[in-house]
């Protein structure tokens, strides 16, 4: 059984080529499978794109998007909830509040567990969407300069993307650093994770933007707060809305991979 807990579990070249194939050819998938979306933290993009991906693959979704309306509110532990849902479905997408909980879930699960963000740990499917976005732009995932701006310590999307790009030059600029950002191919901005105790705020300003090269791209996993002003959305370097679309395709690739390889 294949779990996806860390980005290190993913076969990145295989998933990128599968995503290209899904995006550019018509394949009529008919997976007669059921996915559970089990979310202990809020989500718009991750939960909805997993649901959409599953429907596009011909499957069905059980959505527990607010565990406060499940037996979790009666004190049920993670392991019992995972074992229970595993008897009703073929894979579980889990968003949890604490790093390490996705691995704990996988340990007891009868069905594949996909980590949809575990506290300040990792967020592998967001990273796959990010990698697909970068690969589409530059045709490679090495020899690029990537500047991470924002919540470096508590941003799980930063942790997974950093791990996935061992052959890139990386800069890390945290919220309190007001310096001008270095010239890069990719700028990866993140929200300050206030719910995890992070503090501060920052905003991409005109003086930052004028130093961003013309052929660079600006990414953000979203939701955004004040980091990127909305007037930048029409700038040709903005890629965050394409990133969401790529997230849907990539999640189709991940689910198709899991269900095709099931024993």
User: Does 117 contact ligand NCD by CB under 6 A?
Assistant: yes
Question: Is 60 an active-site residue?
Answer: no
Question: How near is the Cβ of 66 to ligand NCD at its closest, in Å?
Answer: 15
Task: Identify any residues that bridge with 61 across adjacent strands, giving them in sequence order.
Answer: 35
Phi, psi of 146 (to 5 degrees): -120, 125
Give the sign of the dihedral formed by CA 109, CA 13, CA 257, CA 59: positive
Of 164, 151, 240, the residue nearest 199 (C-alpha) = 151
Q: Which of 74, 178, 206, 263 is catalytic?
A: 74
Of 155, 126, 153, 152, the residue nearest 243 (C-alpha) = 126
Question: How near is the Cβ of 45 to ligand NCD at its closest, in Å?
Answer: 5
Those residues whose C-beta lies under 8 Å from the C-beta of residue 206, and which sit 6 or more positions away, are none
Query: Binding residues for ligand NCD, how many (CB under 6 A)?
Result: 11
Question: Is 20 an active-site residue?
Answer: no
Question: Is 74 an active-site residue?
Answer: yes
Would you tell me how many other CB atoms lie within 10 Å of the CB of residue 168? 19
Instruction: Draw the binding track, 3-42, toward ligand NCD (x: CB under 6 A; -: no contact).
Output: ----------------------------------------
User: Does 220 contact ligand NCD by CB under 6 A?
Assistant: no
Nearer to ligand NCD (CB atom), residue 31 or residue 189: 189
Site for ligand NCD in 67-86 (CB under 6 A): none
Structure tokens at 106: 């996988």
Which member of 96, 126, 133, 147 binds ligand NCD (CB under 6 A)? Answer: 126
Element (H, E) at 104: helix 101-108
Which member of 3, 123, 135, 208 binds ligand NCD (CB under 6 A)? Answer: 123
Nearer to ligand NCD (CB atom), residue 194 or residue 211: 194
Would you tell me how many other CB atoms lie within 10 Å of the CB of residue 75? 7
Nearer to ligand NCD (CB atom), residue 190 or residue 246: 190
- Please report, for residues 31, 51, 189, 190, 240, the alpha-carbon distance to residue 58 in angstroms, rounded to integers and kept in the order given: 5, 11, 34, 33, 27
* Dist. CA 228–CA 237, nearest whole Å: 12
Q: Which of 3, 33, 36, 95 is catalytic?
A: 95
Question: Is 45 an active-site residue?
Answer: yes
User: Does 221 contact ligand NCD by CB under 6 A?
Assistant: yes
Question: Is 123 an active-site residue?
Answer: yes
Site for ligand NCD in 156-215 (CB under 6 A): 156-157, 190-191
Structure tokens at 48: 């909805």
Point out which residues bind ligand NCD (CB under 6 A): 45-46, 117, 123, 126, 156-157, 190-191, 221-222
The residues annotated with a catalytic role in the active site are 45-46, 74, 95, 123
């Amino acid at each position: 059984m294949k779990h996806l807990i860390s980005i290190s579990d993913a076969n990145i070249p295989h998933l990128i080529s599968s995503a290209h194939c899904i995006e550019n050819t018509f394949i009529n998938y008919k997976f007669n499978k059921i996915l559970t979306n089990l979310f202990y933290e809020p989500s718009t993009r991750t939960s909805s794109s997993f649901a959409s991906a599953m429907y596009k693959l011909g499957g069905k979704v059980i959505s527990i998007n607010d565990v406060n309306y499940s037996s979790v509110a009666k004190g049920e532990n993670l392991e019992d909830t995972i074992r229970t849902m595993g008897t009703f479905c073929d894979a579980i997408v889990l968003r949890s509040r604490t790093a390490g909980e996705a691995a704990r879930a996988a340990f007891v699960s009868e069905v594949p567990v996909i980590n949809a963000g575990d506290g300040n740990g990792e967020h592998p499917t967001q990273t796959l969407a990010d990698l697909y976005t970068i690969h589409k732009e530059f045709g490679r995932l090495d020899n690029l300069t990537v500047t991470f701006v924002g919540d470096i310590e508590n941003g799980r999307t930063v942790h997974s993307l950093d791990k996935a790009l061992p052959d890139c030059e990386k800069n890390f600029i945290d919220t309190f650093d007001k310096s001008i950002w270095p010239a890069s191919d990719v700028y990866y901005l993140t929200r300050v994770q206030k719910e995890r105790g992070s503090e501060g705020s920052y905003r991409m300003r005109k003086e930052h933007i004028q130093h961003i090269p013309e052929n660079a791209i600006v990414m953000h996993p979203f939701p955004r707060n004040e980091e990127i002003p909305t007037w930048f959305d029409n700038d040709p370097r903005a890629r965050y809305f394409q990133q969401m679309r790529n997230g849907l395709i990539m999640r189709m690739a991940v689910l198709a991979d899991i269900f095709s390889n099931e024993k």
